[in-house]
Structure 1
């Protein structure tokens, strides 16, 4: 198993043991449970880079507790049972994803099943600074609910892809490119889903609206020199000496694409060259080559490869 992927499963019917894990993982303190019920807890966690995906099941007696939300950005989605939580008069929604506030809140739960995505605040703030091109930016979330139904669905779709398609795929997770891109993707969607200083700033951010083509040329040169490297939109924009937003607009205008789509196509071309040179009789596989170049979802990779090169990757390997 790759050392950069942390997987753990915990299960207990001992209330004292379970409450201790509540404190350790979720910073839930002062837990009180009704004495007339059983206790059954299962927690499964998978972590990569600065992101962890957790599935928790709490069956039996109802419980109440106080949670210290500081030090982590955690989005919860209740899939069964009941969770009621309040903080400073703000009651969390009982359906759909919600962001735990970065302060103490009280909660009550009964026969609960939920998924959570936890992100390191410092890493997300650094990602936001790079996206905005502002080293002094301070990240602060001002609400717990998504800003719109569309962003609710976007968040859920991103998490579903992360949990269903990427995390179980040990080959994909062995790729540093895939791990880093998955973590950045979740951070980006988080920043756009929940109200806060990032949306306030990005909505009024000013970038180059009519930059010189030299910026695009610098970006293209950087991409072509770093096809195999772990780079994201902020890295490309920095190389182009432009803002992320300005570079996006320039790529749309000059090349009718985006910087990350250009990078994806460059990686598809690299896969194509490697498949042409590979010998399937020596154990070379499409999956291994694709993962090496950052493609973790086999179906999406195959469709993108076919769109660009006019044939299935397996056909290229056999040619």
Structure 2
């Protein structure tokens, strides 16, 4: 176990790059709040971290090839994957990165425990293949399937940390089994195409207009809640998350969280129309109110839908 604390901004950047890989593109770190505290346990086949960084931190994760799962201990984490904007608070488990991701992440006074695993290990535990002509495995939800699934991830990381810091860490068999335990916990908590191959026919049959209607009704009633997740929507629709995914793709050509993103964009559009720029209203503040923290990505998305940049709407 390695522990490091620094308040030097450049060292913060170097350590985060070392932990998360060279494809992590650092964004901003709020001035005067860059005191990084990190503990790392590297077992070879997997690595756990306990990371704390106060203030506001933004970065872009692009083409990272590892699976990294996290559990928020305190503060908040927001992830914009281009399809949806998800916000996580204490106790929430999240898929921080999945192979071929292109993410924008924002942390506010965040402490998070994470584990990084190779995709091949997850595929092996799931009994699936990741190479050859087959379609690469896909992540179906960045959020864990409810509070119970989040607890599974948290408990598994805790157990693994205890193994790695105790005398059993010297035994390769213990480390290997710990890695497989972590992989099994991740597969149980997050839906991917690695584990849902046999469920697809039934889920497609359940992707009915009634399921879609209940899901849409729930989204329309709760889209302003930062913690709205696929698990919440599926529970309200009385269907599995996979069935809800298929219903939205079949009837709306998007995912459930993509639909949430559309509804939130419409809310931002309404706020832009109603705002008074002479009174201090800004595009960035309105975008952030609805979970769009990256102004460039928000502007591009807004223009694609409304045909003009958001600043033009604000100036009307």
TM-score in terms of structure 1 length: 0.54
Separation in structure 2 between the aligned mates of residue 139 and residue 93 of structure 1, nearest angstrom: 24
- How far is the alpha carbon of 1:15 from its aligned partner? 0.1
CA contact (8 A) 1:69 1:101 kept: no
RMSD across aligned positions (CA): 2.8
- How far is the alpha carbon of 1:25 from its aligned partner? 1.8
The aligned residue for residue 269 of structure 1 is none
- How far is the alpha carbon of 1:186 from its aligned partner? 0.8
SS state of the match for residue 122, structure 2?
helix
Runs of at least 5 residues in structure 1 that lack an aligned partner in the other structure:
1-6, 206-319
- How far is the alpha carbon of 1:194 from its aligned partner? 0.6
- How far is the alpha carbon of 1:137 from its aligned partner? 8.3
- How far is the alpha carbon of 1:160 from its aligned partner? 2.1
CA contact (8 A) 1:56 1:113 kept: yes
- How far is the alpha carbon of 1:193 from its aligned partner? 1.4
Q: Is 1:144 equivalent to 2:142 in the alignment?
A: yes
Separation in structure 2 between the aligned mates of residue 143 and residue 72 of structure 1, nearest angstrom: 16
Q: Is 1:121 equivalent to 2:109 in the alignment?
A: no
Separation in structure 1 between the aligned mates of residue 7 and residue 141 of structure 2, nearest angstrom: 35
CA contact (8 A) 1:30 1:66 kept: yes
TM-score in terms of structure 2 length: 0.55
Q: Is 1:64 equivalent to 2:58 in the alignment?
A: yes
- How far is the alpha carbon of 1:63 from its aligned partner? 2.2
- How far is the alpha carbon of 1:145 from its aligned partner? 1.2
CA contact (8 A) 1:41 1:57 kept: yes
- Which runs of at least 4 in structure 1 moved beyond 6 Å after TM superposition? 134-137
Separation in structure 2 between the aligned mates of residue 172 and residue 97 of structure 1, nearest angstrom: 27
- How far is the alpha carbon of 1:52 from its aligned partner? 0.9
The aligned residue for residue 172 of structure 2 is 176
Q: Is 1:52 equivalent to 2:50 in the alignment?
A: no
Q: Is 1:86 equivalent to 2:80 in the alignment?
A: yes
Q: Is 1:187 equivalent to 2:183 in the alignment?
A: yes
Runs of at least 5 residues in structure 2 that lack an aligned partner in the other structure:
202-316
Task: Indicate which of 151, 163, 166 corresponds to 2:163.
Answer: 166
Size of the aligned set, in residue pairs, is 194
Indicate the structure (1 or 2) with the bigger Cα radius of gyration.
1
Separation in structure 2 between the aligned mates of residue 83 and residue 130 of structure 1, nearest angstrom: 31
The aligned residue for residue 111 of structure 1 is 109
